[in-house]
Structure 1
Amino acid sequence: MSLPPALTLVVAFVAEMLGYPFMQRAFVAGVCIAVVAPLVGSFLIHRQLAMIGDTLAHTAFAGVAVGLFLSSLLETPVSPSLTALVVAVVGALLIQTLSEYTDVYNDVSMVVVLTGGFAVGTILISLTGGGIAVGINQYLFGSLSTITRGDVELLVALSALVVAVVLVSYRPLVFVTFDEAAARVGGVDVRWTNRLLVVLTALVVVGAMQMLGVILVAAMLVVPVAAATQVARSFKQSLVLAVVAAQVAVLAGTTLSYAYGVATGGTIVVVAIGVYAGAVSLTLLGRR
């Protein structure tokens, strides 16, 4: 039994696309990102911390610059992903510490860390006479072709860790997210839970950075969750729908990026925004 011509073309296209190892790695990476980003982003959105993803992305940029700078200085390969992970986690803890021990609000501490991280990155670029700028560009804008097997393995490991931690810490995370004062009275270690959340955010940001780029990585923490909250009736339902929306954005965006030769990160984010617009439209129609 032969397939219809249109379906035959689709099957041939998918087979060709998945025949390339770099596309296989891209889809594995994308699926992982589409699980952990909305999973963590759901807690951030309800705590009005949507901008922390952008802050830690720019902080991770400094970590990438550190890795490339050390590679240039020591003439020994240093993984930019690992240095970005270390710097992003330190930045996340610094944001939380500034909020806990100083009089500044969360948005002020985020601005301090964001601008400081980006400033360090630009200083390191200038110290090499711009020599590491080419290597940094792929992290700024994202790239499919530069994702290695090692990058995918690191992302899978980080994703498994994030999912496991969220499952184990789900109740205190939800409690602190919706009523921090009651959580404190109920014996929840609010300070530890807040630090855990920002560290999880740092792990997600670094994991997604190479595919989406520093400039766009925060979108996957926010946009799918925003779409889900338009139609969800509970927080758990919102989590599930946010992951579904993110999967649609990643799979469709990556496919369109390959088909038309356009930037992957930008295409994924545009599709995610389209999903959000669709959810908003459904909500408005339902009200009418």
Structure 2
Amino acid sequence: MTLPTTVFGLPTLPLQSGSPLDPVLAPFYWFLELWSTVMFAVADATGLELLQYAFMHRAILVGLCIGVMAPLIGTFLVHRQLALIGDALAHTAFAGVAIGLFLNGVLELGVSPYLSAVVVAVIAALLIEVISEATDAYNDVSMAIVLSTGFALGTVLISLNAGGLAVGINQYLFGNLSTVSAENAAILLVLFGIIVATVGLTRNQLLYVTFDETAAQVSGLSVSWYNRVMVMLTALVVVGAMQIMGVILVAAMLVVPVAGAAQISKSFTQSLWASVVLAELAVLLGIGVAYYGEATAGGVIVLVAVGIYVLSVVVGKIQTSVGEDKTPELGSIDANESSSD
């Protein structure tokens, strides 16, 4: 397939090369080049310094995708009381990164660490479900086992080849805007498409299983299958967000925006859309502050998200207070009944 070299009269950047995945990711590379070309045009028009660098273009695009993916899955997880599964899968994904770096350093296979992280995280997600079902253990027990095993494996692999793996390992632990390569951004776009398409196709089933698992089972839905779909999607989100959030903070984007949206929303759908908006605000503001303040992006994004959550709590309390003040005016609810509720 031949990709155009100009878009809307603007020249695109040369296609990336050098990776075995290039033929598969070529359309996504072209999209990244289109995005970068547009960002350069915006930089010229606005004079914004952070838009004058290609690595920031990729970081912003990855952040925007994370702002959709994380709350999209996190909304289901929070309502299913699985908020901590993100931490378990993030630490296991770190083991996947270590495996990829180990294979590259020892066997020179040229494997993308983020691609190996995807594979390991998905396997770990399935193991959490299998352990829980096979041993009748609570989900938090299976998550703790997988988390410990994954992080232990990652640290062992790093120690075996400290000279080759320890260099730059902080970028995986804490995230880094400048290390979002074109290949990793392209992989993230693939994950984004898979997650959004899957949720779009299975939303009703996932919603049914989330709020009434027993009724879903009686109605003929394969609850175990949809549970596996959910944890696998969570694994994909975790690996995608790990690029700029890091292993330690990645789970926050699955939970904090959703918790904030719950304070100001009256339905699941409202909560879903509100959480995406809050997550996008946190990501964009966080990236901007991190760039100009020369701080770690993941930490700043989480702090901004927490700040937005606190503001959401205040707004929610005000909404509730105003609603309670207006209730007697309706004339249909007795004051004593209202207080007893």
Identify the TM-score tier after normalising by the shorter chain: over 0.9
Pick the structure with greater CA Rg.
Answer: 2
Alignment counterpart, residue 121 of structure 2, candidates 64, 88, 100: 88
Q: Distance in 1 between matches of 2:46 and 2:145?
A: 47
Partner of residue 59, structure 2: 26
Structure 2 unaligned segments of length 5 or more: list them.
Answer: 1-42, 322-341
The question of 1:161 aligning with 2:200 is answered: no
Structure 2 match to 1:196: 229
Q: 2:136 aligns with which of 79, 86, 103?
A: 103
CA distance in structure 2 between the partners assigned to 1:225 and 1:61 by the alignment: 24
Q: TM-score, normalised by structure 1?
A: 0.94
Matched residue count: 279
Which range moves more in the overlay, 77-86 or 43-52?
77-86
Q: Which residue of 1 aligns with 2:330?
A: none
Report 1:1-288 matches (<5 A).
Answer: 15-288=48-321
Larger RCO: 1 or 2 (CA < 8 Å, sep 6+): 1
Task: Render the CA deviation track for 1:184-236: whole Å, top value 9, x for unaligned.
Answer: 01111101000000000000000110111000000000000000000101000
Deviations 1:64-113 (A, max 9, x none): 00011111111342210011000000000000011111121100000000
TM-score, length basis structure 2: 0.80
C-alpha distance in structure 2 between counterparts of 1:196 and 1:14, whole Å: 44
| Counterparts of 2:227 and 2:93, CA distance in 1 | 20
Secondary structure of 1:213's counterpart equals helix
Once structures 1 and 2 are overlaid, which stretch shifts more, 148-157 or 200-209? 148-157
Task: Give the counterpart letter for 1:239 in structure 2.
Answer: L
Residue identity matched to 1:226? A
Q: 1:243 to 1:14 in 2, by over 3 A?
A: farther
- How far the C-alpha of 1:177 sits from its partner, in A, is 0.2
Q: Distance in 2 between matches of 1:83 and 1:206?
A: 10
- Runs of 4+ aligned structure 1 residues displaced above 4 Å come to 10-14
Residue deviations 1:102-144, cap 9 Å, x none? 1211000000000000000111111114531123221101001
Q: Which amino acid aligns with 1:263?
A: T
Question: What's the % identity of the aligned pairs?
Answer: 57
Unmatched 5+ residue regions in structure 1? 1-9
Q: Which residue is 1:7 aligned to?
A: none
